[in-house]
Chain A
Amino acid sequence: MQPASNIATAERAPERLPNAAPARVNVPDRAWAVALTVLGAGVLVVAAIIIAELWHTGGTSLTRTGAVAFVTRSVWDPTRDIYGALPFVYGTLVTSAVALLLAVPVSIGLAIFLTEMAPGAARSIISFPIALLAGIPSVVYGLWGLFVLVPLLRNPIEPTLAKALAFLPLFQGPPIGLGYLAAGVILAVMILPTITSISIEVLQTVPGPLREAALALGATRWEAIRIAVLPYARAGIVGAVMLGLGRALGETMAVTMVIGNSPTIRASLFAPGYSLPAVIANEFAEASGALHTGALAALGLLLFVVTVLLNIAARLLVRMSRRGPARVAA
Chain B
Amino acid sequence: MKRIPLIAGLALAIAGASLAADKLLINGAGATFPYPIYSKWFSEYNKLHPNVQINYQSIGSGGGIKQITERTVDFGATDAPMTAEELAKAPGILHIPTVMGAVVAVYNLPGVDSLRFSPETLAGIFLGKITKWNDPAIAKDNAKAKLPDAAITVVHRSDGSGTTSVFTDYLSKVSPEWKTGPGQGKSVNWPAGLGGKGNEGVTGTVKQTEGAIGYVEIAYGKQNKLPMAELKNHDGHWVKATLESVSAAAAKAEIPDDYRVSITDAPGNDAYPISGFTWLLVYKEQTDPAKGDALVHFLWWALHDGQKDAPALDYGPLPAPLVKKVEGTLKSITVQGKPVLAARK
A80 to B153, CA, bound (A): 25
- Answer yes or no: B209 CB below 8 A from chain A CBs: yes
Q: Which of B59, B86, B162, B204 contacts A146 (CB 8 A)?
A: B204
Which residue on chain B has the smallest CB distance to residue A150? B208
Determine if B185 and A261 form an interchain contact, defined as CB atoms under 8 angstroms apart: no
Determine if A262 and B193 form an interchain contact, defined as CB atoms under 8 angstroms apart: yes
Question: Could you tell me which residues of chain B, from 179 to 203, have a CB within 8 Å of some CB in chain A?
Answer: 182-190, 193-197, 201
- Answer yes or no: B286 CB below 8 A from chain A CBs: no
Determine if A283 and B197 form an interchain contact, defined as CB atoms under 8 angstroms apart: no
Which residue on chain A has the smallest CB distance to residue B159? A282
Question: A260 with B209: in contact, given A77-B189, A286-B60, A288-B185 (CB under 8 Å)?
Answer: no
Determine if B160 and A287 form an interchain contact, defined as CB atoms under 8 angstroms apart: yes
Determine if A79 and B158 form an interchain contact, defined as CB atoms under 8 angstroms apart: no
Q: Which of B59, B153, B184 counts the most A-chain CB atoms under 10 A from its CB?
A: B153
Determine if A286 and B186 form an interchain contact, defined as CB atoms under 8 angstroms apart: yes
Question: A286 with B61: in contact, given A174-B151, A256-B197, A262-B193 (CB under 8 Å)?
Answer: yes
- Answer yes or no: B108 CB below 8 A from chain A CBs: no
How far, in Å, is B78 (CB) from chain A's closest CB? 10
- Answer yes or no: A28 CB below 8 A from chain B CBs: no
Chain B, interface size category, equals 20 to 34
Q: Which of A151, A174, A176, A288 contacts B186 (CB 8 A)?
A: A288
Cβ contacts B3-17/A at 8 Å (1 or 0 each): 000000000000000
Which residue on chain B has the smallest CB distance to residue A151? B208
Determine if A77 and B188 form an interchain contact, defined as CB atoms under 8 angstroms apart: yes
A75 to B162, CA, bound (A): 22
Which residue on chain B has the smallest CB distance to residue A289? B85
Determine if B60 and A288 form an interchain contact, defined as CB atoms under 8 angstroms apart: no
Determine if A287 and B189 form an interchain contact, defined as CB atoms under 8 angstroms apart: no
How far, in Å, is A95 (CB) from chain B's closest CB? 15
Question: A282 with B194: in contact, given A287-B62, A288-B186 (CB under 8 Å)?
Answer: no
A79 to B186, CA, bound (A): 8
Question: Could you tell me which residues of chain A, from 50 to 104, have a CB within 8 Å of some CB in chain B?
Answer: 75-80, 82
- Answer yes or no: B334 CB below 8 A from chain A CBs: no
A282 to B205, CA, bound (A): 17
Q: Which of B60, B161, B196, B209 contacts A261 (CB 8 A)?
A: B196
Determine if A260 and B153 form an interchain contact, defined as CB atoms under 8 angstroms apart: no
Q: For B189, what are the chain A residues with a Cβ–Cβ distance below 8 Å?
A: 75-80, 82, 263
- Answer yes or no: B339 CB below 8 A from chain A CBs: no
- Answer yes or no: B18 CB below 8 A from chain A CBs: no
- Answer yes or no: B83 CB below 8 A from chain A CBs: yes
Determine if A286 and B197 form an interchain contact, defined as CB atoms under 8 angstroms apart: no
Q: For B60, what are the chain A residues with a Cβ–Cβ distance below 8 Å?
A: 285-286
Q: For A146, what are the chain B residues with a Cβ–Cβ distance below 8 Å?
A: 204, 208
Q: Which of B86, B158, B185 counts the most A-chain CB atoms under 10 A from its CB?
A: B158
Q: Which of B151, B189, B190 counts the most A-chain CB atoms under 10 A from its CB?
A: B189
Determine if A285 and B63 form an interchain contact, defined as CB atoms under 8 angstroms apart: yes
A191 to B83, CA, bound (A): 44
Determine if B160 and A176 form an interchain contact, defined as CB atoms under 8 angstroms apart: no
Cβ contacts B22-48/A at 8 Å (1 or 0 each): 000000000000000000000000000
Question: Could you tell me which residues of chain A, from 179 to 213, have a CB within 8 Å of some CB in chain B?
Answer: 179
Determine if A272 and B188 form an interchain contact, defined as CB atoms under 8 angstroms apart: no
Which residue on chain B has the smallest CB distance to residue A82? B189
Q: For B184, what are the chain A residues with a Cβ–Cβ distance below 8 Å?
A: 79
Q: For A178, what are the chain B residues with a Cβ–Cβ distance below 8 Å?
A: 194, 205
Determine if B195 and A176 form an interchain contact, defined as CB atoms under 8 angstroms apart: no
Question: A260 with B195: in contact, given A283-B187, A286-B60 (CB under 8 Å)?
Answer: yes
A256 to B195, CA, bound (A): 9
Q: For B194, what are the chain A residues with a Cβ–Cβ distance below 8 Å?
A: 176, 178-179, 260-262, 272
Q: Which of B153, B187, B193, B201 counts the most A-chain CB atoms under 10 A from its CB?
A: B187
Cβ contacts A304-327/B at 8 Å (1 or 0 each): 000000000000000000000000
Q: For A260, what are the chain B residues with a Cβ–Cβ distance below 8 Å?
A: 194-195
Q: For B153, what are the chain A residues with a Cβ–Cβ distance below 8 Å?
A: 174, 176
Q: For A179, what are the chain B residues with a Cβ–Cβ distance below 8 Å?
A: 194
Which residue on chain A has the smallest CB distance to residue B154? A262
- Answer yes or no: A108 CB below 8 A from chain B CBs: no
- Answer yes or no: A239 CB below 8 A from chain B CBs: no
A161 to B181, CA, bound (A): 35
Question: Could you tell me which residues of chain A, from 263 to 295, have a CB within 8 Å of some CB in chain B?
Answer: 263, 272, 274, 278, 281-283, 285-289, 292
- Answer yes or no: A257 CB below 8 A from chain B CBs: yes
Determine if B188 and A79 form an interchain contact, defined as CB atoms under 8 angstroms apart: yes
A283 to B184, CA, bound (A): 15
Q: For A257, what are the chain B residues with a Cβ–Cβ distance below 8 Å?
A: 197, 201
Which residue on chain A has the smallest CB distance to residue B198? A282
Determine if A283 and B193 form an interchain contact, defined as CB atoms under 8 angstroms apart: no
Cβ contacts B51-62/A at 8 Å (1 or 0 each): 000000001111
Q: For A154, what are the chain B residues with a Cβ–Cβ distance below 8 Å?
A: 209
- Answer yes or no: A244 CB below 8 A from chain B CBs: no
Q: For B161, what are the chain A residues with a Cβ–Cβ distance below 8 Å?
A: 286
Q: Report the 6 A-B pairs with minimum CB-CB distance, sorted nearest first.
A: A286-B160, A261-B195, A261-B158, A77-B189, A260-B194, A79-B185
What are 29 A-B contacts with C-beta separation under 8 Å?
A77-B188, A78-B185, A78-B186, A79-B185, A79-B187, A79-B188, A82-B189, A146-B208, A150-B208, A154-B209, A176-B153, A176-B209, A256-B158, A260-B195, A272-B193, A274-B195, A281-B159, A282-B160, A285-B62, A286-B62, A286-B159, A286-B161, A286-B186, A286-B187, A287-B62, A287-B160, A288-B186, A289-B85, A292-B187
Sample of 6 further A-B pairs with CB below 8 A, known A283-B159, A285-B160: A77-B182, A150-B208, A176-B194, A262-B190, A285-B60, A288-B62
Task: Show the binding face of B for A, using Cβ within 8 Å.
Answer: 59-63, 83, 85-86, 151, 153, 158-162, 182-190, 193-197, 201, 204-205, 208-209
